[in-house]
Structures are given as C-alpha cells and as structure tokens.
C-alpha cells in the first residue's frame, strides 16, 4: 500500500488517473490487515486497487467525473466494493473516466484529462481511462472499470494491459451508477491474465441487490490457466479484419493467431453478418436507457443545484443545463428522441430487433467454435484533442467492442504488440458464462 501510494505521488501528476486518493483510509486499513490472522488471508490479501468513479464508495466522493455529482458522497458501498474488501484488497482511491462513462478517450471528464503512460500526448482510451492508465503506469496493480460498449477493453488495449468485460449478470451492478442498464458490466483491469482471473473470481456472483445477477456458480478461473490450447477452435470474423481496421493492427492480430496455432489451436475465418449495424444499434439502445437513467439527476435528490433558482422548473432545467457536460446532454437528447411516441417504433424497437440478430450471429458461431478472436480497437491510441469532437469517427470505432455488450457475452483484451510505440489489443470473445475459456486462451497466448 505504501509503495502504491508512493507511485501515485510520483507519477500521477503526469498521468492524471486519480480523482481522489484515499491515502489515510488505505494506510489505516493496511495496518489493520497486518494484524489479521493468517487463516483470514485470501488470495488478494493486502493488494492495492483503484476504483472507477462511477462505482459508489461509502464516505468517499463518487463523481462519475461530472459536475452534477462533484460533491456526492454515497452512504453505502457497491457490492463489488464490499467484495474487494472481503477479499482483503485495499482501495487507494477513485479513478477518472468520461462523464457518466460516455466516451472513448476520458477527455469527457469534467475534471481532468488522463494521459496514456506510453505516450503522454495520447489518450488512455475510455471511458475507464483512469483505471487503465493507473495500472499501465504501475501506480496500482488492479483496477475496476465498467464496460457498456467497450469501456474496459478499449482502454486496456490503448494502455497495453488486460481488461475483461464479463458476461452480463456475472458481476453485480448494485452500486454502479447506471448508464445503460441492459449493457453495463463492471470488469477488472490488470497487468496479467492471471491477476485478472483472480480479481474477477473475487467480484463475481449472485447478489440479492441486483435481480439481473446470475446464480450460476463462479468458476475457479485461475485453476484453468494451463497454458494449453490443444483442440481449441477459434473463429475470426472477417468483419473484424476488414476496412477501417489499421494495417498494423491487422498484422499484429494475424501474428497472434499464428502463435495460438503453434500452441495447438485451429482457426477459421467466419462472418458476423449483422455486426455492421452494431454501432447504430448500440447508440439507439444506450442513449435511450441513459435518457431514462439520468432522469434522476433533477437537482433535488442528487447533486448539483444552481444558486438563485426561484421555481421548480428552473431547478430542473438549470441544474441539468449546468451540471451535465456536452456529450451527456447530447445523448439524453438522442435517447429521448429514440423513445418518443413518434419515433420509438423506428428507432428503439427496431434497434431491439437488430440486437437479437446480432446475438444470434454469435450464438451460431458458438455452436461450432470455442472462441472468437479479433482486434479490440481499429487503431491505437488517439492524440489528445484529435477525435474528441468527431463523434462519427468515435462512434464508428466502437464497432469491434459494442456487439459483445449487445449480445451480453464476455470478452477480454490482452496486449498483442505495438505500432509506433503504442500498444495494440487482441480481443477474445467467449460464449455466455464461459470466461474460463477466454482466460485459458489469453493466458496461454500471453
């Protein structure tokens, strides 16, 4: 814990990953744990961790990187926070993100711009950019992020670390400030696959506070890391190596496939015919759900309230106009439109139908294959300021991550090389609740 705090003090001035550092609480917990009996020490005992700032922490500000929640101090811990505490982990603080997890660069934070430790002129990815950058910089070995459309995997790829989006329902969302409830999952960011497996094992499982959490038994993921890929059948969707994916990214993925072949796996090119509709489908559904979820920020129950308001309408309008940033407001508009009486059939309902087709494409492949492999992101990290105001490019670049959230299946990003000094991410996509096969393959590859 002391080492982690020292690293944060030394590096975070440049990286800017943390929004809050809970130094005193961390040190006193570490001291308390030092005196805990040996038999109470789990596999993650005493290990430092950072938490994305949209996961509520009792007594510690949880801002969602929004002015709306700048001073919000939750009165309870999210289930995942209880679980990491039970595992003996020590939280070092809260990590920067795009406001309400909407974005792909962490430049949408209302408070600061996190930098990619591999090149401080580039973004760490997003929205869990603070989580990925803090781990990649060596400030902390473990972090929690959230992935609604790629926000764990893409920053993991940009920062050269390992990030897992678990199956929908594998990890409780109780205490996660909701963005799009049918897509959101909390996931671990770590430097190695083994660390990742250990952390997922600690946070997974049913929770009576989240009716969408699954009662399926949590597997012993770390026991499955045998290094063996014999007989594993891998599908490589041609859409994942198509137009729009950078040549050096494609080359790194092909090289990784050769490595997996040499370890005993076989692979074939396949198709995910509806994946080309994934981005518009995702943005219709995610914004619709966000417009509903963010209705609670009304200036009364939570957060920011402007001064000098004289009536109820003004409280609503001014707290939302001043409390939310540009991207969040835009998405509330889109989502409200997609759910409106005149348009919901054409937008929201149609998107739900396409979502079912996208899920079916994956199901068909998993009848025959154990895993799907491709790149995590079409490019390496963007320059700071480069694309943040170009939503067409940004939304289109979610193409390789959002289909997984729409289908509810698990996927992990693991580093597979560099282009111009910036990391490239390899994505392993598994069937529902088959995190084990993903970890096994990624571990053997890594």
How far CA 207 is from CA of 146, 174, 200, in Å, comes to 18, 8, 15
Binding of ligand GLN at residue 398 (CB under 6 A)?
A: yes
20 or 401: CB nearest ligand GLN: 401
Least distance to ligand GLN, CB of residue 177, Å: 11
Residues 6+ apart with CB under 8 A from 197: 221, 222, 224, 225, 439, 443
Binding of ligand GLN at residue 101 (CB under 6 A)?
A: yes
Burial class of 137 by CB neighbour count within 10 A (0 to 12, 13 to 18, 19+): buried
Burial class of 58 by CB neighbour count within 10 A (0 to 12, 13 to 18, 19+): middle
Sign of CA dihedral 186, 191, 193, 194: negative
Binding of ligand GLN at residue 195 (CB under 6 A)?
A: no
Structure-token match 């020490």, residue found: 41
121: left (phi over 0), alpha (psi -120 to 50) or beta: alpha
Residue from 128, 151, 275, 377 carrying the catalytic annotation: 151
Looking at beta carbons, which residue is closest to ligand GLN?
A: 151
Residues 6+ apart with CB under 8 A from 290: 100, 102, 179, 180, 328, 331, 332, 335
Residues 6+ apart with CB under 8 A from 233: 265, 266, 267, 268, 368, 369, 370, 371
Separation CA 345–CA 170 (nearest Å): 31
151 or 201: CB nearest ligand GLN: 151
Structure-token match 């009486």, residue found: 341
Answer for which of 117, 150, 163, 323 binds ligand GLN (CB under 6 A) is 150
Least distance to ligand GLN, CB of residue 442, Å: 20
179 or 221: CB nearest ligand GLN: 179
Binding of ligand GLN at residue 148 (CB under 6 A)?
A: yes
147 or 361: CB nearest ligand GLN: 147
Peptide bond into 127 cis (omega under 30): yes
- Tell me whether residue 52 is one of the annotated catalytic residues: yes
204 or 404: CB nearest ligand GLN: 404
Q: What is the DSSP letter of 101?
A: G
Binding of ligand GLN at residue 107 (CB under 6 A)?
A: no
Answer for which of 20, 91, 106, 151 binds ligand GLN (CB under 6 A) is 151
Answer for which of 127, 185, 201, 275 binds ligand GLN (CB under 6 A) is 127
Answer for which of 16, 22, 57, 104 binds ligand GLN (CB under 6 A) is 104
22 or 151: CB nearest ligand GLN: 151
Binding of ligand GLN at residue 286 (CB under 6 A)?
A: yes
- Tell me whether residue 151 is one of the annotated catalytic residues: yes
Total residues at interface with ligand GLN (CB under 6 A) = 13
What is the binding site for ligand GLN (CB under 6 A)?
101-104, 127, 147-151, 179, 286, 398
Q: Which residues are the active-site residues?
A: 52, 127, 151
């Amino acid at each position: 814990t002391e080492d982690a705090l020292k690293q944060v003090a030394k590096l975070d001035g440049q990286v800017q990953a943390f929004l809050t550092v809970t130094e005193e609480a961390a040190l006193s917990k570490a001291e308390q744990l030092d005196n805990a009996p040996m038999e109470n020490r789990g596999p993650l005992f005493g290990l430092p961790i950072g938490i994305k700032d949209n996961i509520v922490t009792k007594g510690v500000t949880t801002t969602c990187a929004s002015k709306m929640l700048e001073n919000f101090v939750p009165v309870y811990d999210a289930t995942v926070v209880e679980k990491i505490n039970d595992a003996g982990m020590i939280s070092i603080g809260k990590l920067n993100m795009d406001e309400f997890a909407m974005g792909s660069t962490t430049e949408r934070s209302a408070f600061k711009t996190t930098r990619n430790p591999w090149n401080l002129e580039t973004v760490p990815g997003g929205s869990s950019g603070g989580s990925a950058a803090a781990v990649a910089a060596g400030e902390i070995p473990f972090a929690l992020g959230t992935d609604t459309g790629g926000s764990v995997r893409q920053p993991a790829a940009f920062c050269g670390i390992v990030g897992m989006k678990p199956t929908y329902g594998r990890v409780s969302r109780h205490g996660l400030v909701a963005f799009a409830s049918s897509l959101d999952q909390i996931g671990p960011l770590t430097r190695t696959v083994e660390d990742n497996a250990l952390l997922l094992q600690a946070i997974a499982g049913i929770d009576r506070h989240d009716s969408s959490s699954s009662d399926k038994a949590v597997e012993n993921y770390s026991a499955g890391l045998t290094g063996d890929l014999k007989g594993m059948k891998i599908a490589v969707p041609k859409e994942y190596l198509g137009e729009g994916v950078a040549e050096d990214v494609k080359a790194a993925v092909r090289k990784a496939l050769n490595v997996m072949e040499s370890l005993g796996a076989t692979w074939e090119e396949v198709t995910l015919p509806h994946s080309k509709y994934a981005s518009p489908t995702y943005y219709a559904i995610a914004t619709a759900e966000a417009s509903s979820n963010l209705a609670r920020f009304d200036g009364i129950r939570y957060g920011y309230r402007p001064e000098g308001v004289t009536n109820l309408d003004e409280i609503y309008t001014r707290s939302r106009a001043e409390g939310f940033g540009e991207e969040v407001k835009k998405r509330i508009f889109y989502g409200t439109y997609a759910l409106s009486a005149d348009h919901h059939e054409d937008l929201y309902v149609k998107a739900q139908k396409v979502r079912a087709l996208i899920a079916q494409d994956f199901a068909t492949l998993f009848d025959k294959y154990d895993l799907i492999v491709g790149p995590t992101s079409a490019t390496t990290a963007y320059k700071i300021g480069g694309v943040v105001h170009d939503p067409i490019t940004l939304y289109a670049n979610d193409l390789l991550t959002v289909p997984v959230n729409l289908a509810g299946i698990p996927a992990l990003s693991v580093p597979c090389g560099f282009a111009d000094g910036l990391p490239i991410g390899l994505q392993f996509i598994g069937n529902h609740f088959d995190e084990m096969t993903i970890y096994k393959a990624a571990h053997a590859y890594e």
